[in-house]
Chain A
Amino acid sequence: MTNFNFLKYKIFFLFVSSFLVLASIILVFTKGLDFGVDFKGGTTIEIRLEKKIEIENIRNSLSKLKINNYSVKEFGAVNDFLISTDNSISPNDIKNFIEKDLKEKITIRKVETVGPKVGSELIKSAIYSVLLCFIAMFFYLWFRFEWQFSFGGIAALFHDTIITVGVFSLLGLQFDLTIVAALLTIIGYSINDTVIIYDRIRENLKKDSTSELSNLVNESLNNTLSRTLKTSGTTLLSIIAVLIFGGEVLRGFAFAITFGIIIGTYSSIYIASPIVMFFKVKRDWSVKVDNTP
Chain B
Amino acid sequence: MLNFSRLKIGFIISSILFFFYIFLGNFNFINKTNLFLDKKVNLGLDLQGGSYLLLEIDMNPLINKKLEEKTVDLKKKFNEKKLDFKNLNILNNKITFEIKNSSQKEIAINLINKTNNDENIFSRINNNNIENANKDFVYKIEKDLFILQFNEEYIKRQKKDAINQSIEIVRKRVDQLGTKEPTIQQKGENRIIVELPGLTDPSSFKNILGKTAQLNFKFIKTSNSSSDNLGFEKVKNKSDGLFIEVEKRLIVSGENLTDAQPGFDRETNQSIVSFKFDNLGAKKFANATKDNVGRPLAIILDNEILSSPVIREPILTGSGQISGGFTVEEANQLAILLRAGALPAPMKIIEERTVGADLGKDSIRSGIISFIAGFLLVFVYMVYAYKLFGIFANISLLLNIVILISVLSIFGSTLTLPGIAGIVLTVGMAIDTNVIIYERAKEELKIEKSNIIAFDIAYRKSLLTIIDSNLTTLIAGIILFYLGSGPVKGFAVTLCVGLITSFFTAFTVSRLMVSKYLMANKDKIINI
Beta-carbon contact of B421 and A254 below 8 Å? yes
Interface residues, chain A, with chain B CB atoms under 8 Å away: 1, 46, 48, 90, 92, 107-115, 117-118, 125-126, 128-129, 132-133, 136-137, 140, 144, 177-178, 180-181, 184-185, 187-189, 191-192, 195-196, 199, 223, 226-227, 230-231, 233-242, 244-247, 249-250, 253-254, 257, 291-293
Say if the beta carbon of B427 comes within 8 Å of chain A. yes
Closest to A114 in B: B351
Beta-carbon contact of B431 and A234 below 8 Å? yes
Beta-carbon contact of A241 and B373 below 8 Å? yes
Given A227-B435, A230-B439, A234-B435, A184 contacting B483 (CB threshold 8 A): yes
Option from A180, A187, A233, A293 in Cβ contact (under 8 Å) with B462: A293
Say if the beta carbon of B479 comes within 8 Å of chain A. yes
Interface range on chain B (Cβ under 8 Å from partner): 35 or more
Q: How far does the alpha carbon of A245 sit from the alpha carbon of B488 in the complex, in Å? A: 19
Most B-side CB within 10 Å, residue of A109, A114, A128, A187: A109
Closest to A239 in B: B425
Option from B375, B421, B483 in Cβ contact (under 8 Å) with A129: B483
Beta-carbon contact of A230 and B435 below 8 Å? yes
Closest to A246 in B: B370
Given A185-B495, A199-B464, A129 contacting B435 (CB threshold 8 A): no
Beta-carbon contact of B356 and A196 below 8 Å? no
Q: How far does the alpha carbon of A230 sit from the alpha carbon of B390 in the complex, in Å? A: 13
Beta-carbon contact of A110 and B356 below 8 Å? yes
Within the complex, the shortest CB–CB distance from A109 to chain B, in Å, comes to: 4
Say if the beta carbon of B239 comes within 8 Å of chain A. no
Given A234-B428, A245-B366, A247-B363, A187 contacting B418 (CB threshold 8 A): no
Beta-carbon contact of B421 and A231 below 8 Å? no
Q: How far does the alpha carbon of A180 sit from the alpha carbon of B479 in the complex, in Å? A: 11
Say if the beta carbon of B484 comes within 8 Å of chain A. yes
Within the complex, the shortest CB–CB distance from A172 to chain B, in Å, comes to: 22
Beta-carbon contact of B473 and A192 below 8 Å? yes
Within the complex, the shortest CB–CB distance from A82 to chain B, in Å, comes to: 12
Contacts of B353 in A (CB 8 A): 110-113
Say if the beta carbon of B514 comes within 8 Å of chain A. no
Within the complex, the shortest CB–CB distance from B422 to chain A, in Å, comes to: 9
Main SS class of interface, A: helix
Contacts of A199 in B (CB 8 A): 464-465, 468
Beta-carbon contact of B468 and A195 below 8 Å? yes
Within the complex, the shortest CB–CB distance from A167 to chain B, in Å, comes to: 19
Given A113-B351, A117-B350, A140-B475, A241 contacting B370 (CB threshold 8 A): yes
Given A118-B350, A237-B374, A293-B463, A247 contacting B425 (CB threshold 8 A): no
Contacts of A187 in B (CB 8 A): 476
Say if the beta carbon of B354 comes within 8 Å of chain A. yes
Beta-carbon contact of B424 and A188 below 8 Å? no
Beta-carbon contact of B465 and A195 below 8 Å? yes
Say if the beta carbon of B443 comes within 8 Å of chain A. yes
Instruction: Provide a sorted-by-A list of 29 A–B residue pairs whose CB atoms are within 8 angstroms.
Output: A107-B356, A110-B355, A110-B356, A117-B350, A133-B475, A133-B476, A133-B479, A180-B483, A181-B488, A185-B476, A188-B473, A188-B474, A189-B476, A196-B469, A199-B464, A199-B468, A223-B443, A227-B436, A230-B439, A233-B381, A234-B431, A237-B374, A237-B377, A238-B374, A238-B425, A242-B374, A244-B370, A246-B424, A247-B362
Q: How far does the alpha carbon of A241 sit from the alpha carbon of B429 in the complex, in Å? A: 14
Q: How far does the alpha carbon of A254 sit from the alpha carbon of B420 in the complex, in Å? A: 12
Option from A112, A230, A246, A293 in Cβ contact (under 8 Å) with B366: A246
Q: How far does the alpha carbon of A234 sit from the alpha carbon of B443 in the complex, in Å? A: 20
Beta-carbon contact of B472 and A111 below 8 Å? no
Closest to B440 in A: A227
Given A178-B418, A191-B472, A111 contacting B352 (CB threshold 8 A): yes
Contacts of B439 in A (CB 8 A): 226-227, 230
Q: How far does the alpha carbon of A226 sit from the alpha carbon of B383 in the complex, in Å? A: 16
Within the complex, the shortest CB–CB distance from B359 to chain A, in Å, comes to: 4
Beta-carbon contact of B488 and A249 below 8 Å? no
Beta-carbon contact of B428 and A129 below 8 Å? no
Beta-carbon contact of A293 and B465 below 8 Å? yes
Complex A-B, nearest 3 residue pairs according to Cβ-Cβ distance, in ascending order: A188-B476, A238-B428, A241-B374
Contacts of B463 in A (CB 8 A): 293
Identify 6 new A-B residue pairs, CB closer than 8 A, beyond the known A184-B476, A242-B424, A250-B421.
Answer: A108-B356, A136-B475, A185-B477, A195-B472, A199-B464, A238-B425
Option from A129, A178, A196 in Cβ contact (under 8 Å) with B436: A196
Closest to A227 in B: B439
Beta-carbon contact of B464 and A178 below 8 Å? no
Say if the beta carbon of B492 comes within 8 Å of chain A. yes
Beta-carbon contact of A112 and B471 below 8 Å? no
Beta-carbon contact of A192 and B472 below 8 Å? yes
Say if the beta carbon of B358 comes within 8 Å of chain A. yes
Closest to B489 in A: A181
Within the complex, the shortest CB–CB distance from A52 to chain B, in Å, comes to: 18
